[in-house]
Amino acid sequence: MNVAKMLWENARGTSHHALPILSFPAVQKLNVRVDQLVKNAELQAEVMACIAQETPTLAAVSLMDLSVEAEAFGANVVFSDNEVPVVTGQMISDTDEAEELEVPTLDAGRAKVCVEGIRLAKQKIQDKPVIAGMIGPYSLAGRLMDVTEIMYVCYDEPEAVHIVLQKATDYLIAYGKAMKEAGADGIMMAEPLAGILSPTMANEFSVPYVKQIIEALQDEDFALIYHNCGNSVSAMLPEIFSQGAAAYHFGNAVDMEEVLKAAPAEVLCMGNVDPAAIIAEGIPEMVTKVTKELIQKCGAYSNFVPSSGCDIPAHAKWENIQAFFAAVEEV
């Protein structure tokens, strides 16, 4: 299915439909734990099928588990019953360690589980596109070099960061191709750590590598959706829009209307109801109010698709998720 075409038709239509980053809350429906889900391909496919069947989402989005790729490189990952896995520790701190880092095969870690999850999901979901999830290159490098320490290394040993970034990019291209071959209709690539960079640093340490991935994977029938929920996104919109993705997904740290004002008319933008404070922790009336306000502000733009601002947490109340979809379609 052509994801970009579907999103444009929705944006330009007279009625609105949403594409939130929604998968983990399905653990409540299936009565499974998050740590079970992230290690099991069949469960991942069932989660995507559940979301596709239980909601009017435009597409089924795979898990936004940003530990998978770092784990494949050898990073330590901590699993939890009801929270997404977390990468801990620092693998690489200097140029020598960066040069020694090996690009893993797709057999390492849980990557093959996620690829198989996509293949099984495509068998179960016939009426909606299936979108895989993947981390972005700078965000992956940050998990290998430590999300705080990488900022210092960018200044002190930039070559070390570039070495890691290229290896991360090579791996992500291979991983993305495997997702594509498994039947995915597109990939949502999360690059949130780049959202704390200055525009100049983003142009050096994120944008060129994101472009490599998009150029290697995206085609007329396969869309790359770029997600960035960082706090500095508003200052780097020209850099973000230069990357050539089929669509851009923004977090709730930015004013979505201001993003749309800055975006060229041919650039598709998605976002940005707060997934934690509003959808997960709020009440249905609050979700309805905030969602309708977003649509009223941004619905007139012909390049806007309503969504959550980021991944909706596993514990989000289903009555709130239903309120979000209902509010989108009522406006």
pLDDT for the residue numbered 78 = 98
pTM of the model: 0.96
Q: Alpha-carbon Rg of the chain, whole angstroms?
A: 19
pLDDT for the residue numbered 47 = 97
Environment class of residue 109 by beta-carbon count within 10 Å: exposed (0-12), middle (13-18) or buried (19+)?
buried
pLDDT for the residue numbered 2 = 86
Mean pLDDT over 104-116 rounds to 97
At residue 319 the predicted structure's pLDDT band, cuts being 50, 70 and 90, is very high
pLDDT, tens only, 233-287: 999 999 999 999 999 999 999 999 999 999 999 999 999 999 999 999 999 999 9
pLDDT for the residue numbered 11 = 82
pLDDT, tens only, 9-60: 888 887 778 999 999 999 999 999 999 999 999 999 999 999 999 999 999 9
pLDDT for the residue numbered 102 = 97
pLDDT for the residue numbered 5 = 87
CB within 8 A of 172, min separation 6: which ones?
Answer: 69, 134, 135, 136, 137, 140, 189, 213
pLDDT for the residue numbered 10 = 81
CA 65 and chain centroid, separation: 9
Mean pLDDT over 81-108 rounds to 96
> What tokens does 250 get?
């923004």
What's the CATH code of the domain at 29?
3.20.20.210
At residue 8 the predicted structure's pLDDT band, cuts being 50, 70 and 90, is confident
DSSP code, position 242: T
Our CA angle for 296, 298, 300, nearest 5°, is 85
pLDDT exceeds cutoff 90 at 331: no
Structural domain that includes position 12? 3-330
How far apart are alpha carbons 148 and 165 in whole angstroms? 16
> What's the total number of domains in the chain?
1
